[in-house]
Amino acid sequence: MRINSFTPSGTLENDLAVLSPEESHHLARVLRVEAGQELTLFDGQGTRAEGIVEAVTKKEVTVRITARETVPPPVVEITLIQAICKPDRFELILQKATELGIRRIQPVISAHTVNRSKEPEKQMERWQTIIRNAAQQCGTAWLPELLPLQKFNAVALKADVVFIGSLHPNAKPFREAFQGLDRAKIKTAALLIGPEGDFTEEEVNAAVAAGAIPVTFGSQILRTETAAIFGLSVLAYELF
């Protein structure tokens, strides 16, 4: 099985790459890599390299680079604006957004959001780890950019096209929402998904007033993580 391993930007420029203590520990103690084993390294910024493990010690794994490639980013940058929810559900959203090639994730606090974390820095570190692990699993060369948690602000919405999942009276299925759009002109897109209690009517109206297109996901009420995965899958299908 080919192992994908993350390494910070800049470490793939030389013939030898020394992996971080955390990644080295995972490779040496968990995956039991040995000298001579082949690895794929990526920096999350589009550089992917093939290499052979040169040495394994208790603190570091050294890899000799044998080939490099530059992988272009997705043709459309998709941003997920996700109201945070229960930790296990939010982490699932982070995983699947990474697998679907999303370029940016903006966690937000909305009126119905409950954020019980008392250590925001550790919370962000865990989210970054979830994203890196998902990237290693799916083999992407690009890590989504995880933006700092902030309060939901409809005025700050910036993209060529913005969709919001909602029960707004003018909401329409994705297939109808795309009929009036020129896909060739869409370079950036965003999807807004509410928390377990959904966005408030005022929040939805503010987003629509700012230019967001309200969309439905069918007749059934979806959990927030299902709605995020559903919506991102549609956007990836329509725009990639």
Question: pLDDT at position 110, please?
Answer: 94
Q: Minimal CA–CA distance to 40: which of 57, 20, 17? A: 17
Q: What CATH fold (topology level) applies to the domain 3-70?
A: Ribosomal Protein L25; Chain P (2.40.240)
pTM: predicted TM-score of the whole model, two decimal places: 0.92
CATH 3.40.1280.10 residue ranges of the chain are: 77-239
Strands 104-109 and 77-83: parallel
pLDDT tens for each residue of 74-121: 999 999 999 999 999 999 999 999 999 999 999 999 999 887 777 888
Instruction: Please list the residues that pair with 42 across neighbouring strands.
Output: 6, 48
Q: What's the CATH number for 77-239? A: 3.40.1280.10
- Single-letter residue type at 53: V
Q: Minimal CA–CA distance to 51: which of 30, 35, 31? A: 35
pLDDT tens for each residue of 138-182: 989 999 999 999 999 988 888 999 999 987 788 999 999 999 899
> Which long-range contacts (C-beta less than 8 Å, at least 24 apart) are formed by 68-74?
68/12, 70/46, 71/46, 71/47, 71/141, 71/142, 72/46, 73/46, 73/103, 73/142, 74/101, 74/103, 74/142, 74/240
- Contact between 135 and 42 (Cβ < 8 Å): yes
Strands 38-42 and 213-216: unpaired
